[in-house]
A and B are shown apart, each in its own frame.
Chain A
Amino acid sequence: MAVEIKMPALSPTMEEGSLTKWLVDEGADVRSGDVIAEIETDKATMEVEALDDGRIGRILVAAGSENVKVNTTIAMLLEEGESADDLATDLANDMVVATSAAVSEVPEAPESPESPESAASPVAGASGTAAVEAATTGAELEKPVAEPVASGNTAPLTVREALRDAMAEEMRGDDRVFVMGEEVAEYQGAYKVTQGLLAEFGPKRVIDTPITEQGFAGLGVGAAFGDLRPVVEFMTFNFAMQAIDQIINSAAKTLYMSGGQMGCPIVFRGPNGAASRVAAQHSQCYASWYAHCPGLKVVSPWSAADAKGLLKAAIRDPNPVIFLENEVMYGQSFEVPDDDDWVVPIGRANIVREGSDVTITAFSIMVGRALEAADKLAEQGISAEVIDLRTIRPLDIDTIVNSVKKTSRLVTCEEGFPFAGVGSEIAMQVMEQAFDWLDAPIARVTGKDVPMPYAANLEKLALPQIEDIVATVVASCEGFRGD
């Protein structure tokens, strides 16, 4: 059967073009790939290649024709054994059909015989109401498992030790788990978080990398694709910006792009946020950056117990997890359950102080400041409930909303910049879910909207302090109290 050569689309947006030149005549033999014509759009001149071997039976659109619609048949290609005479009959039959179609549909008759498939893709209809419903939470609908019940026995541990113990325990339990990063092995960790791991697990599983964040982050992703369980340490998350393409484009998106085949069980961990006097390039909170992207889980613990339990959960999680620590917190001690297998589920916030007048949310180092602020607020007669978010994404919005329904006021705290921050997202979701319960506008306490300055006084001004939280909460409560 003769093959129709059609006016091709050269880009997703092209609808028509000019047929400037034929490079073959009727009767010419062509091979697949031979250039047979030139077409032109407003953007480019392109060559049309034969898509099959055969003989040009008939040219249907003359050289010089303008506004030729995509998918118009421009020529007929004869296959072996066919002659142009056969074509004449076929075409005549087609003409009859085309004519009668044109007669019966006069008002919409197209100028040229277009294929019905040439219209815009029918996919557009997919964004129906059902789709919109899950817009913000999407894949996070799955409820995390319940809070673990501790045996009751605890031992004091620094956050640093808790993180190390978490890695060591998971490495003992699963030989696919390995740790890699700058200075994690021989140096024992730039911040000594991986202390002792090399001695116990050897250089095969505790690997010093060169200073090549993009390279080793990508290598970790490949190893996770290859069914290992990498824990990749960034000396600080500031340096992970070098690797963010691998984290977002390779780690976070591949499960979706593969229709569920792939998965990337990897943990990227390291200190996040401001340390002390290291200025703009080394002092930034990345929580909202990573939480922005579907396909990642983002965890940022405060206490040593949560640091240990959440890191163990992160290593076991089949998804890429961003684990944001804080350098200032590494040396702080907390009571940690001494259970054999202390795991804290990802996706659950923790009410660290109950109260009735206002809800304060915080994560990482800001939880400590929020608790101190709550003490000061109590002296002023304000009872603050403090929620440690622990996981930024999936966000435990239920815990926040339930608290707000009790207190009717919300103040969010974070060290990061205010614009499109974690607080902005919480405020929006609370407005969506608990608008009628609010007695005051939601307020944010954040880092100032400036690169981190070096000078001690300026740095202090740039970072959210306990007094800032107290002042913001007081302002939120004043004038709105029913009495």
Chain B
Amino acid sequence: MRFVRPTYALTGVTVAAALVLGACGSSGGGSSSPGEAVPSAGGSVTYAIDTEPVCYNVHVSQQDITAEVQRNVVDSLLFFDADQKIHPWLATSWETSSDFRTFTFKLRDDVTFTDGTPFDANAVKANFDHIADPKTKSRYASTLIKTYTGTEVVDPHTVRISFSAPSAPFLQAASTPYLGFYSPKTLQENADKLCTEGPAQVGTGPFTVAEYTKGQSVKFVRNPNYRWAPDGAANKGAAYLDALTIRVLPEDSTRVGVLTSGQVDGARAIPPANVATVEANKELGTVRLQAAGGTYQIYLNVTREPLTDQRVRTAIQRGIDLGKDVQAVYFGQYQRAWGPLAPSTPSYDKSLENTWPFDQALSNRLLDEAGWTGRDAEGYRTKDGRRLAVVWPLMPAEYIKDQRQVLGQAIQADLKKIGIDLQRPTFDIGTFVTKGYAGEFDILDSSWARPEPDILRLFFNSTSSAATGGQNASFISDPQLDEWTNAGAATLDTKIRDDVYGKTQKRVIDLAASVPVYVPTTVVGVSRQLHGVTFDASSWPLFHGVWTDKK
């Protein structure tokens, strides 16, 4: 399933943690100006999302939406703010061994799960062991702690987590909901129900689940005992809201409609075509969140003819008029990508920008050189009587986000102009995943949200094959890419990381292993009656500090 991770749910480091929507502009309400607004408890808020998590278990699911919804219920050891600064959360302090194989955390001693179980070293151990247990069938969390060897309970409030290989990116991973904590009691008694039976789970978070209707909504109510918000959070105590309802509204026009008509207080994933409508509404504000992590890329399988020839890959890379295509399909709301990392990711290589512009003449020349000189009746290039065709399968419609199938048609049209037949058959999701993992397609596409350049290892390291839970969709095996991505994982030294990750980004483009297309972006629409909406480093909204004028 990892190839189909619906990743348009984003990580936007660009959003200041202090981004308080109420402060974005004065509302037409005529009430006290937002700057003076004082938090007040009470009231309830409804937020519309576009897809329901397939699995609600953060330890299992690879979906962004799972993390976004469950952030209300599970807390993590650390908190990464929008500036990539680490703050203590459930851990008050931590130490890292020089080889990045051992991490020691001191835990808060005043935290309890909502079932009354205390949060302590044993709870941490139980959770990490659960994630690493093959029986959990984790699709993502386990890859964040891939070389995990165990957790040692040093004392009731100290744990030592060990890895068999350097794991510098673990600190960032430990801040994500995927490595969040369920009550050990839940893990023992209900682990098998965590995935499918909705979010009826026990964590330490600011909310608890009150009601769940599959395919429709989740209702959360305040956890009155909550007083362990991350260091630096504006609200130190329990959540202001009495209740938070998350409604699942997959149809774009419906979600926009309920937002503009005031039936919900906020909605994520406002389609680019509708942003203007929402912005024109005086009751609403919008926040544009650019994802940190992997850009939306089309990965060229370097092991398959004719893409084994780098000239053909470069021809594809340079033969797509990405600037115009992205501008047209996303109405100028999304930015064209220049590298495998989004600009807001640490160690992003800005020098790549504008270095490989659209160049149809170059593409044609490269294809001529590669021997694709013939033309068939439909105008496609041929060599030895064979047509220059590549297969880029389409996922079933329900998995396609961001109008990517339309963007794909623009790419198809561009490639046709240089004589490449880009074919897009549809497969059911099972076949798609099986064949995708087996490397039976020429091209695969995805984006990946994680504000950590270590994702370059996930996508371009030769050991990160699909078979081992990796995402190497280009099926590339390059000694230098391996060396650099491994080196990056063994240090937190910004200088070294900038160097090796910069070289990695450049080499991916040089080898034409992928074609970065656009920077995943989400536009969130929020009512001006809401205040205190902030986003974490992954640009997931945090409802703990939200209050509403509507009581």
- Does chain A bind chain B? no
Interface residues of A, Cβ cutoff 8 Å to B: none
